[in-house]
């Protein structure tokens, strides 16, 4: 364990990744699908010599560039920024494995930016074929960046048995989840873009002919997108590792969200078919806005599920949420979680010096004497070191007293023995918890700490249960 842990109150550091990633994904898929939309539709408008449609596409391109090149790019960088802060070990592994994938992706980013600017700023000045070609270059580059990043994010969910054997780039990139997620995201790009386009057109266009043209022409890509999302989603499910599939069944919130996402996708499909495909005249701001909200909700739900089923891993079978490798667990159980981490060890040494405690033997953290004491003064120190264990072992997924999956409410009313048992059997109680990675003495300290923050059992419940 080479890295310090970053404590983010209430939210936990990894949830910052989730917040930024969800925002980015909603824009990034538009960046991909929108590029294709603009390239295809501009070519069509040139062929049909439809000046009115070209004017609309020009205005849409301005909005597209403003949103995707600026906000989309920065939020994408923001994810990368945040993962290094919230999950440094996993980020180190990912970069070491896929640096050339990321470097290649950035080549496509540069092409995207230049082609997007050229497509917009030189509108009406370039020969039509050249203009369309630049649009196609953008669309291809954007899709390639989707493919490249999907290989890496899919790897986190399930690297596949082959990668665990050779740890290579290609086996990692072409992991079992790569194809289903690429299909799903490509479909998502088409679908989300169509929904955004409907909404934008419903607000920006008053001409009925143009509205119906856009609705009609975007309906098929949208339907195709919905089919690809569904197919990709089913493939995602089929190639999940067993624990991820079990998590969908075990965690009530995930079960509900899974049903929700399927229901929303079906609803969007039906509304697309009944609406823009069969009745293009239905394109009103209310209808288009509602459709877009459903699509955004389905997408965000999907991202939450995709992330949640990875627990207890950040990278399945490679990096645990507690920022250790699974193969370190047995060593840490013998030698100590606090001793095994650079920063935890340094903290205990510092703490021992400051409080003149006998916590170090032969240069190593040794908690036996502290654990053997039970006076009030020692309880203060036990809880202090228990707090360190909580931060580094648990805080990646659990806030403390309130917030995201806060642990205090979860252990409300439990006895110390029950808490201690839970700690020692973390992954037996819930398979999506990491295994306890400390010594028995450290479990005692963490139990003292958690008991110190656990609220009592709620009063007024019948039958009364002794705490």
Partner 1 sequence: MEPLLDTTNLPPLPAPFWFIEFFKVLGFSLHAIPMNLWYAGILVALGLAACGSEHGRRFAARLMLQMPVIVALGINFGIVPLLFLQLAYARAFYPATILMAWFWLAVVVLLVPAYYGVYLYAFGLGKEGAAMTPLKRAAGWLSAVFFVWIGFTFANGLSLTTRVERWRAIWLEHNLDGAATGWGLNLSDPSLWPRWLLMFGLALVTTAAWMVVDAAWLAPRESRQYKRWAQDFALRLGLVGAAWAAVAGTWYVFGTWPPEVFQAMFRSPQVILTLLTAASPWAVGGLLWLWRRGDISRGQAAAVGAGQVGTLALNAIGRQVVQNLEVRPLVDALPEPAVQWGPMAMFLLALVAGALAVAWILIQIIGVKASPEAAP
Binders in 86-105 for partner 1, by CB under 8 A? 88, 91-92, 95-104
Residue whose CB is less far from partner 1, 95 or 379: 95
SS3 for 32?
Answer: helix
Residue whose CB is less far from partner 1, 274 or 342: 342
Residues 394-423 as x/- pattern, contact with partner 1 by CB under 8 A: -x----------------------------
Least distance to partner 1 from the beta carbon of 320, Å?
17
- Beta pairing partners, 319: 315
Binding-site member from 30, 37, 282, 392 for partner 1 (CB under 8 A): 392
Binding-site member from 19, 43, 69, 224 for partner 1 (CB under 8 A): 69
Closest to 198 (Cα-Cα) out of 56, 302, 75, 48: 56
Cα 266 to Cα 227, 272, 429, distances in angstroms = 10, 10, 36
Under the binding rule (CB under 8 A), the answer on residue 106 touching partner 1 is: yes
Among the listed ranges 118-126, 200-208, 403-411, 437-445, the one in contact with partner 1 (CB under 8 A) is 118-126
Binding-site member from 81, 237, 287, 431 for partner 1 (CB under 8 A): 81
Residue whose CB is less far from partner 1, 95 or 224: 95
Residue whose CB is less far from partner 1, 103 or 253: 103
Least distance to partner 1 from the beta carbon of 343, Å?
6
Least distance to partner 1 from the beta carbon of 350, Å?
7
8 Å CB contact between 148 and 112? no
Residue whose CB is less far from partner 1, 135 or 275: 135
Binders in 138-197 for partner 1, by CB under 8 A? 141, 168-170
Contacts 24+ apart (CB under 8 A), 207-215: 207/52, 208/281, 209/52, 210/52, 210/53, 210/56, 211/280, 211/281, 211/283, 212/280, 212/281, 212/283, 213/50, 213/53, 213/280, 214/56, 214/283, 215/275, 215/276, 215/280, 215/281, 215/282, 215/283
Residue whose CB is less far from partner 1, 12 or 194: 12
Phi, psi of 388 (to 5 degrees): -65, -45
Residue whose CB is less far from partner 1, 97 or 211: 97
Phi, psi of 183 (to 5 degrees): -65, -45
Residue whose tokens read 């036990």 = 382
Binding-site member from 10, 52, 63, 77 for partner 1 (CB under 8 A): 77
Residue whose CB is less far from partner 1, 134 or 292: 134
Binders in 318-377 for partner 1, by CB under 8 A? 342-347, 349-350
Tell me, rounded to whole angstroms, the distance of Cα 83 from its chain centroid: 10
Between CA 182 and CA 154 the distance in angstroms is: 9
Binding-site member from 32, 134, 183, 254 for partner 1 (CB under 8 A): 134
Binders in 8-37 for partner 1, by CB under 8 A? 8, 13, 16, 20
Binding-site member from 15, 137, 154, 397 for partner 1 (CB under 8 A): 137
96 Cβ partners below 8 Å, 6+ apart? none
Between CA 421 and CA 133 the distance in angstroms is: 65
The two tokens of residue 145 are 């960046």
Q: Which residues of 330-364 are buried (b: 16+ CB within 10 A; e: fewer)?
A: eebbeebbbbbbebbbebbbebbeeeebebeeeee
Binding-site member from 19, 40, 43, 114 for partner 1 (CB under 8 A): 114
């Amino acid at each position: 364990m080479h890295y310090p842990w970053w404590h983010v109150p209430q939210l936990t550091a990894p949830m910052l990744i989730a917040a930024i990633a969800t925002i980015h994904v909603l824009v990034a898929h538009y960046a991909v699908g929108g590029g294709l939309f603009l390239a295809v539709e501009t070519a069509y408008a040139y062929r049909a010599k439809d000046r009115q449609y070209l004017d609309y596409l020009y205005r849409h391109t301005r909005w597209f560039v403003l949103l995707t090149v600026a906000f989309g790019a920065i939020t994408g960088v923001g994810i990368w920024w945040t993962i290094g802060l919230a999950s440094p070990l996993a980020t180190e592994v990912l970069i070491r494995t896929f640096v050339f994938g990321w470097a290649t992706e950035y080549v496509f980013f540069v092409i995207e930016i230049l082609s997007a600017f050229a497509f917009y700023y030189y509108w009406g000045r370039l020969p039509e074929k050249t203009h369309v070609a630049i649009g196609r270059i953008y669309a291809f580059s954007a899709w390639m960046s989707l493919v490249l990043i999907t290989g890496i994010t899919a790897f986190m969910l399930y690297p596949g048995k082959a990668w665990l054997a050779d740890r290579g780039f290609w086996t990692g990139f072409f992991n079992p989840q790569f194809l289903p997620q690429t299909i799903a995201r490509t479909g998502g790009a088409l679908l989300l873009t169509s929904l955004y386009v409907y909404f934008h057109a419903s607000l920006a266009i008053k001409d009925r002919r143009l509205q119906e043209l856009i609705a009609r022409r975007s309906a098929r890509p949208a339907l195709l997108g919905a089919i690809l999302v569904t197919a990709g989603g089913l493939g995602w499910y089929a190639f999940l590792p067993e624990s991820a599939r079990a998590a969908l069944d075990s965690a009530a919130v995930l079960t509900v969200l899974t049903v929700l996402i399927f229901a929303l996708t079906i609803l969007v499909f039906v509304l697309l078919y009944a609406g823009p495909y069969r009745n293009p005249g239905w394109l009103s701001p209310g209808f288009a806005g509602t459709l877009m909200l459903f699509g955004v909700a389905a997408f965000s739900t999907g991202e939450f599920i995709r992330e949640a089923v990875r627990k207890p891993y950040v990278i399945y079978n490679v990096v645990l949420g507690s920022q250790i490798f699974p193969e370190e667990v047995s060593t840490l159980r013998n030698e100590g979680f606090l001793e095994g981490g650079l920063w935890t060890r340094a903290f205990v040494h510092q703490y021992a010096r400051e409080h003149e405690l006998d916590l170090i033997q032969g240069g190593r953290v040794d908690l036996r004497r502290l654990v053997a004491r039970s006076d009030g003064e020692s309880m203060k120190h036990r809880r202090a070191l228990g707090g360190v264990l909580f931060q580094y072992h648990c805080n990646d997924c659990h806030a403390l007293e309130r917030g995201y999956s806060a642990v205090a409410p979860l252990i409300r009313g439990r006895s110390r023995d029950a808490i201690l048992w839970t700690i020692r059997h973390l992954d037996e109680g819930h398979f999506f918890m990491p295994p306890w990675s400390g010594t028995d003495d450290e479990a005692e300290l963490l139990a003292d700490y958690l008991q110190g923050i656990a609220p009592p059992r709620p009063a007024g419940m019948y039958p009364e249960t002794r705490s």
